[in-house]
Amino acid sequence: MEQNCQSSEMADRSSEQLHRGLKSRHLSMIAIGGAIGTGLFVASGSSISTAGPGGALLAYFVVGVMVYFVMTSLGEMASFLPVSGSFETYASRFVDPALGFALGWNYWYNWAITIPAELSAGSLVMKYWFPHSSSVLWSAIFLALLFLLNVLSVKGYGEGEYWFAGIKVVTVLVFLVVGVLMIFGIFNGHPIDFHTFTLGGTPFHGGALAIFSTVLVAGFAFQGTELVGLAAGESENPARNVPKAINQVFWRILIFYVLTIFIIGMLIPYTDPNLLKASIDNVAISPFTLVFQRAGLALAASVMNAVILTAVLSAGNSALYASTRMLWALAKSGKAPRLFTKVNGRGVPMNALFVNLLVGFVAFLSSLYGNGVVYTWMVNASGLSGFLVWLGIAISHYRFRKAYVAQGRDLKQLAYRAKWYPFGPIFAFVLCATVIIGQDYSGFTGGSINWAGVIATYIGIPLFIMLWLGYKLVKKTKMVPLQECDFDNHL
């Protein structure tokens, strides 16, 4: 009888466990795919237009350093404790379960609302080739594709992201090669000097406020790199693969951004109005398209439109995966209904997947009716989510290391040890907090405060605080003492 109870309990547990099916190459491309997208292909132009090439380079470098410390903090925890829904788990174990609750639901909502955003973006991209086609039709096709990639297995998501990200990486590499050849005069017949880069006598434009506003843009461009921590729970060998992905991929991403901005700044003056006007539905004036066209490459706009479509599908693929795994993790820790812990024979949490599909579809429909007012506020509520998660990672790592040492554990036994502790998490915390507070600084600098704009920008902060304090009051949680932080339970 007792044996039957034990076997039944083991079966229940196995029906709630994810499968470790992600290889090292998947993790690397997940990290790359999370950061290379429309922020690089389109928004880099507006950054140069706002702050000049020098200001844009400085802004992206500063944010890159911050993200590096966030990623090394995440790497230390994820290689030691690889779990899906890692941000919620680390905050709950090493800081306060209430913080974990708020971070988890905040991150779930952020990615759930990203699904309809990417569906809308995908339909806009398709309008370039099929201007009179139905937006709903394209969105339904893309949603079905994302569902198929995620329902097969975690390998389905990993393979999809591997190839989506691979196309983006190849595009960036081709752009860098073409740009360098143009600078040396191989494509356009004469070498390019620094006249365009230092237009007006300096590579900087607009002063300190312009650079700060570009820091905000850069922060959004780098969001998604933390997905590698979420995917660690389904990695084949997290102790080896997570540090490898973080160490190699981050520098590649930073180099991609820095070299891309440098080349655009060398070839296109920051005064070019096209840089400011580029958008996902106007790919013909994307800085990438402009450079390819000046190199004499035919069909540049169509090629870039196809690349941007892969970036959109990549973001949608990651959104469905991340929101599904976070909902599973919240249910696993008792912070969401238990039915979301169930997984099928392929290790996919189907209940969580179906709910996220439903949320994405309903939110997409809300974007089509009533001028999209409801959907606009839903998007506003998720605007700061990524920065709040980075903030939570920095706090969790600071407490993780403190508790690890306080319990007499040997730092040499960590599979990956973040450098520059405690400077790294403290620097990331301060800069991330500054970025969050300064999101809508322009709303306060005019003659009168634009309260509607300010509320729309900062609505995510009171919502986060309500989740945090609400859980704290109901569950009466307290900050976990360093001696009681749980390092041993790896389930």
Q: What DSSP line would sit under 337-351, residue for residue?
A: -GGGG---TTS--HH
Indicate the fold that domain 17-477 takes in CATH.
Amino acid/polyamine transporter I (1.20.1740)
The answer on pLDDT for 208 being more than 80 is yes
Dihedral Cα 31, 330, 421, 465, nearest 10 deg: 110
Per-residue confidence band for 58, with pLDDT thresholds at 50, 70 and 90: very high
Per-residue confidence band for 249, with pLDDT thresholds at 50, 70 and 90: low
Other Cβ atoms closer than 10 A to 436: 18
The answer on pLDDT for 70 being more than 50 is yes
Average pLDDT in the 211-233 region? 84
Give the pair of three-digit tokens for residue 62. Answer: 């500063």
How far apart CA 126 and CA 305 sit, in angstroms, is: 8
How far apart CA 264 and CA 267 sit, in angstroms, is: 5
Q: Which residues of 19-53 are buried (b: 16+ CB within 10 A; e: fewer)?
A: ebbbbbebbbbbbbbbbbbbbbbbbbbbbbbbbbb
Average pLDDT in the 277-298 region? 79
| Site of tokens 């939570």 | 392
pLDDT in tens, 18-44: 777 788 788 877 777 767 877 788 888
Average pLDDT in the 266-274 region? 89
The answer on pLDDT for 335 being more than 60 is yes
> Closest Cα partner for 91 from 285, 349, 326?
326
Orientation angle between helical segments 238-267 and 154-183, nearest 10 degrees: 30
- What local confidence, expressed as pLDDT, does residue 94 receive? 96
Instruction: Give the list of residues 6+ apart from residue 149 with CB closer than 8 angstroms, or none.
Output: 156, 157, 159, 160, 317, 320
Per the model's pLDDT, the better-predicted residue between 489 and 77 turns out to be: 77
Average pLDDT in the 388-392 region? 95
Average pLDDT in the 232-260 region? 80
How far apart CA 178 and CA 289 sit, in angstroms, is: 12
Average pLDDT in the 259-282 region? 84
Domain boundaries along the sequence of the chain: 17-477
The answer on pLDDT for 111 being more than 70 is yes
